[in-house]
């Protein structure tokens, strides 16, 4: 009887040890697979258009003023070291003109979007794994940032703010952000 009890205990210890080893070897294999998989990283750079010409307050689609043209050139320098894949702009003179120097420097055609009809989830899927510049407005840029983040974090931009850049990075579906001011 004693040898039977010892055999049962030995079998339980063996079964437990085997299960323990099997569990951790499977876990390690899964961890190794996850380590070998490259994360999917999408980066959105969102800016407001540069300074617009305010001489005619009734003009709904003004061009950039001289300060705005200078800032648009500065944005192109800011984005020079960044490997952009796509550039989006609303279909307005001031946003197109802000995006133009970067577009020319990077040899990337500007794609137009309508912030009122943009499906953000589809937009994220279409741009998955890319570096994306989005040029918008004081009332549309923070809204898009909030939608990309999935939280209400940013308020409408001040009308005098033409130098802020929001960076939203989505790594394997998890979004982080930073707000920079480029004077």
Token pair, residue 30, equals 């899964």
Given a contact cutoff of 8 angstroms between Cβ atoms, the answer to whether 79 and 100 are in contact is no
Token pair, residue 60, equals 């709904």
**What is the percent of the chain with per-residue pLDDT over 90, rounded to a whole number?**
79
Instruction: Answer yes or no: CATH 3.40.50.1240 is held by domain 41-181.
Output: yes
pLDDT of residue 20: 37
For the chain, the domains span: 1-37, 41-181
Range from 4-8, 120-124, 127-131 carrying the lowest mean pLDDT: 4-8
Chain segment 1-59, per-residue pLDDT in tens: 554 444 344 344 444 443 433 344 444 444 455 567 899 999 999 999 999 999 999 99
Residue 176, beta-bridge partner list: 169
pTM strictly above 0.75: yes
Residue 5, beta-bridge partner list: none
């Amino acid at each position: 009887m004693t040898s039977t009890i010892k055999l049962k205990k030995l079998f339980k210890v063996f079964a437990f040890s085997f299960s323990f080893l099997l569990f951790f070897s499977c876990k390690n294999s899964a961890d190794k697979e996850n380590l070998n998989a490259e994360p999917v990283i999408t980066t959105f750079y969102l800016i407001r258009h540069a300074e617009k010409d305010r001489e005619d307050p009734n003009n709904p689609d003004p061009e950039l003023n001289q300060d705005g043209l200078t800032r648009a050139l500065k944005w192109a320098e800011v984005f020079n070291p960044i490997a952009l894949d796509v550039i989006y702009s609303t279909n307005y003179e001031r946003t197109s003109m802000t995006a133009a120097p970067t577009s020319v420097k990077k040899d990337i055609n500007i794609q137009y979007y309508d912030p009122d009809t943009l499906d953000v989830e589809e937009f994220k899927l279409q741009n998955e794994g890319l570096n994306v510049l989005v040029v918008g407005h004081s009332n549309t840029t923070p809204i898009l940032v909030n939608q990309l983040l999935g939280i209400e974090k940013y308020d409408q931009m001040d009308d005098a703010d033409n130098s802020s850049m929001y960076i939203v990075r989505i790594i394997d579906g998890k979004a982080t952000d930073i707000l920079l001011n480029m004077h």
